[in-house]
Structure 1
Amino acid sequence: MENDLPFRGKIIVFGGDFRQVLPVVRNGTRVQMINASFIKSPIWRHVNILHLRENMRSRDDSAFASRLLAIGNGDEPTVSDHMIKLPNHMVIPSTDGVSIEILIDQVFPNLSQHVGEGNYMVERAIITPLNEDADKINDKVVEKILEEGITYHSIDCVP
């Protein structure tokens, strides 16, 4: 790919709603976050936007769809520092590791009874912005799935 085209001429597909995926700017203001966003990048002028016609995730939940649009359009009331208040039914109080257990049980109810059911797993997700947190959550989910761990050893050479 010896050329000066963006991404060396390869087609790249970006997904998501750019209104909802602002970058994390530590202690940044709203303006700083927007200025660090993808649409302010020099490559933005090379992007061809294709619009989805139907929100598959919220197809059967009109309240969820309306709330997403209100947040994306900036119509949702803010509390402090341009933050929205989530409804109580969407919030799990933080109490160290206990809140993670509660979250896992909410997202994956009766997990041990559904081990091996592909649809059960792919219909659920816990999303976190930090890999470190994702690793902790994944470890706890795996602990709930496995009764007893098995260790497999390997060797790189024949003794």
Structure 2
Amino acid sequence: MYLSEIEQPAITLLNDLDLNVDNYTISIRISWTVRSDVLFGGKVIVFGGDFRQILLVVPNGGRQEIVNTSLCSSYLWRKCKLLSLTRNIRLTVGRPSFEVEEINNFAKWLMDVGEGNVGGSNDGEAIIEIPPDLLIDSTSNPISSLVDFVYPSILENYNDRNYFSNRAIIAPKNEVVHEINDRLLALFPGEEKEYFSSDSLRPTEDGNADQQKIYSPDVLNGLKVSGLPNHRLVLKVGVPIMLLRNIDQRNGMCNGTRLKVTKLYSRVIEAEIISGGNIGSRTFIPRINLVPSDRKIPFAFQRRQFPIVVCFAMTINKSQGQPLSKVGLYLRQPVFTDGQLYVALSRVTRRDGIKLLILDNEGRPTNKTMNVVYKEIFNDL
């Protein structure tokens, strides 16, 4: 937690406000103070965060560009007072001493991973060993073993709302996530329903007649862009999904909210919220126009589709902030940026809630993987 240090403001402003309550007029005088020579006009601002987690994404940015986007690289950091939280009351109060010790030991190991202290001090990319009890030990069919750990008896429990709310398989890249989602969707009971997007180039000031010839609808349909649903979206009733856009923040329909499909209509999808503060609420999801933010795409286009993806599995970046009790971390390829491994491992609060499947370059299970830590982020902490 980070608290900005600011002096007491000196200028007082007064406003008179008249309120009409039950036909009675109540006059209220509101006063506040403003200083133009101090940060945030004299208001106390509290920043909360963990510098071990994934830093801001900088497209095509290197290590220095990523670090420079952090709050501790800003001129504001010199005006902040650092307040550290030292005790996890929610996880330790009221538990037996042996459980508290186990939780604290796991938390200490997570801190060492996040700060680059596992397997010796590392700064940047380093290979670390994962303890045997955290690994999938099956060599015959390790992916099935990972699925069984996260989703045991899935066909018997999929109607339970809470079954999907606290478990997920996570991986660093979208291509692996899509493969796991397709695998589990095929096993899921029920009839499939397909939804196809409507893709088109966005109009530009100088016209786009030439682009219309080059980038036909078939080309646009084949694009798979991070943050956008695919052209072909396949769903079944009961399948867990995740929102990709803010639709109704007041009612919990935000980017990253997880839901379970309850009914599939032609023009709308009915779903039940299974994460956040609105668990159990039923909602309707419409098609909307989605515009990719990826600057690598050399033209502007939009995709009209339901802003959702199937989420038996999700990327590590998307899992950030998701509280889970069962996590399977699938590392077919290693993590590739600062804090990813720490975020993946810290989605659970107990050591027995996570298993890792790590594959080497030849596709064989191993106990070694990459950890990426930019230690300069901790210099002023």
Q: Quick check: TM above 0.5? A: yes
CA distance in 1, matches of 2:88, 2:62: 26
- Is 1:101 the counterpart of 2:144? The answer is yes
Amino acid at match of 1:131: N
Determine which of 164, 178, 183 is the counterpart of 1:140. 183
TM-score under structure 2 normalisation?
A: 0.28
SS of 1:19's partner is: coil
Report what 2:135 is aligned to.
Answer: 91
Structure 1 residue runs of 4+, over 3 Å off? 15-18, 46-60, 78-81, 93-96, 150-155
Report what 1:19 is aligned to.
Answer: 52
Q: Per residue, is there more strand in 1 or in 2?
A: 2
CA distance in 1, matches of 2:89, 2:179: 29
Report what 2:64 is aligned to.
Answer: 35
- Rate the CA distance shift 1:75–1:150 in 2: closer, same or farther, 3 A: closer
Report what 1:66 is aligned to.
Answer: 108
- Rate the CA distance shift 1:63–1:133 in 2: closer, same or farther, 3 A: same
- Rate the CA distance shift 1:143–1:54 in 2: closer, same or farther, 3 A: farther
Larger relative contact order (Cα-Cα within 8 Å, sequence gap ≥ 6) = 2
Deviation at 1:104, TM superposition (A): 1.0
CA distance in 1, matches of 2:145, 2:90: 23
CA distance in 2, matches of 1:91, 1:57: 27
CA contact (8 A) 2:138 2:145 kept: no
Amino acid at match of 1:92: I
CA distance in 2, matches of 1:19, 1:130: 20
SS of 1:82's partner is: strand
CA contact (8 A) 1:22 1:33 kept: no
Report what 2:168 is aligned to.
Answer: 125
CA distance in 2, matches of 1:69, 1:104: 27
- Is 1:112 the counterpart of 2:145? The answer is no
- Rate the CA distance shift 1:135–1:55 in 2: closer, same or farther, 3 A: farther
Count how many residue pairs are aligned between Structure 1 and Structure 2.
Answer: 132
Q: Per residue, is there more helix in 1 or in 2?
A: 1
Deviation at 1:122, TM superposition (A): 1.5
Please list, as runs of the form range in 1=range in 2, the aligned pairs for 1:75-90 lying within 5 A after superposition: 75-78=117-120, 82-90=126-134
RMSD: 4.3
1:3-44 Cα deviation digits (max 9, x unpaired)? xxxxxxxxxxxx9743242689xxxxxxx964253x322875
CA distance in 1, matches of 2:89, 2:149: 22
- Rate the CA distance shift 1:21–1:50 in 2: closer, same or farther, 3 A: farther
Amino acid at match of 1:87: P
CA distance in 1, matches of 2:112, 2:54: 15
TM-score under structure 1 normalisation?
A: 0.57
Q: Which has the larger radius of gyration?
A: 2
Deviation at 1:88, TM superposition (A): 1.6
